[in-house]
Structure 1
Amino acid sequence: MKSPSEKKFAKLASEHQLLLGLLLALTPIVALTIYLVWFVSDWSWHGKVFASAMVFLPLLLSLLHLPARLSQQWRVLVNVAESVRRGDYSLRGRGSRDPGAYGELVRELNALAEQLQQQRLHTVEQQLLVEKIIRDIDVAIFAFDHQQRLTLANTMALHLLQAPIEQLRQQSAEALGMHGLLAVQDSEVREHAFASQHGQWHVRVEQYRERGLPHYLLFVSDLQHVLRREEQKVWTRLIRVLSHEVNNSLSPIISISESLRTVSHDLPAETADDLQHGLQVIQERASSLNRFVRRYAELARLPTPQCQPIDLREVLNALKTLQAASQVEFDIEPGPLPVFVDAGQLQQALLNLLKNAIEAGDEGAPVQLRVRASKQQISLQVLDQGSGIANPGNLFVPFYSTKPGGSGIGLLISRQIVEAHGGSLSLRNRKDRQGCIAEVLLPKALG
Structure 2
Amino acid sequence: MRTRTKYILFVVILHLTALLLTYFIFRDNKLLFLAAEVLILISVILSWQFFKQLVRPLMMLSQGAEAMKDRDFTVKLVPSGNYEVDQLINIYNQMMDELRTERTRQEQQHLFLEKLIQTSPTGIIILDFDDHIQQVNPKALELLDMEPLEILSTSIHELSHPVLDQVKLLESGKSITYTFNGAITYKLQKSHFIDRGFPRHFIMIEELTAEILAAEKKAYGKVIRMMAHEVNNSIGPVNSILSSALSVEKIWSSKEHEILRQALEVAIGRNQNLNIFMRNFADLVRLPAPQKKSIDIVDLLHGVIQLMDRMAGEKQIIFNNFITSEPFFVMADNQQMEQVMINIVKNSIEAIKSAGEVGLHLDRTSRTLMITDNGKGITPAESEQLFSPFFSTKPDGQGIGLTLVKEILMNHGYTFSLKQSKERVTVFSIYF
Q: Same fold (TM over 0.5)?
A: yes
Which of 399, 407, 420 is the aligned partner of 1:416? 407
- Determine what percentage of the aligned residue pairs are the same residue: 26
SS at match of 1:387: coil
- Who is 2:300 aligned against? 318
* CA-CA distance at 1:241 after TM superposition: 1.3
Which of 167, 170, 187 is the aligned partner of 1:201? 187
- Who is 1:384 aligned against? 373
The answer to whether 1:163 aligns with 2:146 is yes
Which of 248, 266, 277 is the aligned partner of 2:262? 277
CA contact 2:360–2:372 (8 Å) conserved in 1: yes
- Who is 1:353 aligned against? 344
* CA-CA distance at 1:146 after TM superposition: 8.7
* CA-CA distance at 1:191 after TM superposition: 6.7
SS at match of 2:174: strand
- Who is 1:259 aligned against? 244
The answer to whether 1:291 aligns with 2:276 is yes
SS at match of 1:383: strand
What per-residue deviation string (whole Å, max 9, x for no partner) do you get for residues 342-383 of structure 1?
3432232122111111222244522012233666xx433221
What per-residue deviation string (whole Å, max 9, x for no partner) do you get for residues 160-185 of structure 1?
2x432343344344544769959989
CA contact 1:398–1:409 (8 Å) conserved in 2: yes
- Who is 1:305 aligned against? 290
1: CA distance between counterparts of 2:136 and 2:319? 40
SS at match of 1:321: helix
* CA-CA distance at 1:389 after TM superposition: 2.4
- Who is 2:218 aligned against? 233
CA contact 2:252–2:261 (8 Å) conserved in 1: no
* CA-CA distance at 1:261 after TM superposition: 0.6
The answer to whether 1:188 aligns with 2:174 is yes
2: CA distance between counterparts of 1:206 and 1:333? 51
What per-residue deviation string (whole Å, max 9, x for no partner) do you get for residues 118-158 of structure 1?
xxxxx9xxx8x997x65xx4x43446679854444335533
CA contact 2:117–2:124 (8 Å) conserved in 1: no
SS at match of 1:401: coil
2: CA distance between counterparts of 1:409 and 1:358? 17
Flag structure 2 segments of 5+ consecutive residues without an equivalent.
1-110, 310-317
2: CA distance between counterparts of 1:353 and 1:221? 28
* CA-CA distance at 1:413 after TM superposition: 0.9
2: CA distance between counterparts of 1:423 and 1:208? 39
Amino acid at match of 1:153: N
RMSD: 4.5
The answer to whether 1:154 aligns with 2:144 is no
What per-residue deviation string (whole Å, max 9, x for no partner) do you get for residues 54-76 of structure 1?
xxxxxxxxxxxxxxxxxxxxxxx
SS at match of 2:248: helix
Mapping of 1:332-347 within 5 angstroms?
Answer: 332=323, 339-347=330-338
1: CA distance between counterparts of 2:224 and 2:183? 30
Question: Normalising by the residue count of structure 1, what TM-score does the alignment of the two structures yield?
Answer: 0.55
CA contact 1:159–1:196 (8 Å) conserved in 2: no
Mapping of 1:4-403 within 5 angstroms?
Answer: 134=120, 137=121, 139-142=122-125, 149-155=133-139, 157-160=141-144, 162-176=145-159, 188-190=174-176, 201-203=187-189, 218-222=203-207, 226-266=211-251, 268-270=253-255, 272-308=257-293, 310=294, 314-322=296-304, 323-326=306-309, 327-332=318-323, 339-363=330-354, 365-372=356-363, 378-390=367-379, 392=382, 393-403=384-394
* CA-CA distance at 1:293 after TM superposition: 0.9
* CA-CA distance at 1:333 after TM superposition: 9.0
CA contact 1:142–1:157 (8 Å) conserved in 2: no
CA contact 2:225–2:282 (8 Å) conserved in 1: yes
* CA-CA distance at 1:330 after TM superposition: 3.1
* CA-CA distance at 1:425 after TM superposition: 3.9
SS at match of 2:146: coil
Cα pair distance change 1:166/1:256, threshold 3 Å: same
2: CA distance between counterparts of 1:403 and 1:167? 40
1: CA distance between counterparts of 2:227 and 2:418? 29
SS at match of 2:377: coil
1: CA distance between counterparts of 2:181 and 2:229? 44
What per-residue deviation string (whole Å, max 9, x for no partner) do you get for residues 77-97 of structure 1?
xxxxxxxxxxxxxxxxxxxxx
2: CA distance between counterparts of 1:190 and 1:280? 53
CA contact 2:298–2:325 (8 Å) conserved in 1: no
1: CA distance between counterparts of 2:281 and 2:182? 31
CA contact 1:307–1:340 (8 Å) conserved in 2: yes
* CA-CA distance at 1:284 after TM superposition: 1.0
* CA-CA distance at 1:220 after TM superposition: 0.9
2: CA distance between counterparts of 1:417 and 1:262? 44
Flag structure 1 segments of 5+ consecutive residues without an equivalent.
1-122
Cα pair distance change 1:156/1:435, threshold 3 Å: same
- Who is 1:435 aligned against? 425
* CA-CA distance at 1:298 after TM superposition: 1.4
2: CA distance between counterparts of 1:194 and 1:394? 11
2: CA distance between counterparts of 1:374 and 1:187? 41
CA contact 1:184–1:205 (8 Å) conserved in 2: no
CA contact 1:265–1:272 (8 Å) conserved in 2: no
The answer to whether 1:406 aligns with 2:397 is yes
Question: Normalising by the residue count of structure 2, what TM-score does the alignment of the two structures yield?
Answer: 0.56
CA contact 1:383–1:437 (8 Å) conserved in 2: yes
* CA-CA distance at 1:414 after TM superposition: 0.9
Aligned residues, how many? 305
Cα pair distance change 1:296/1:183, threshold 3 Å: closer
CA contact 1:261–1:275 (8 Å) conserved in 2: no
Amino acid at match of 2:418: L
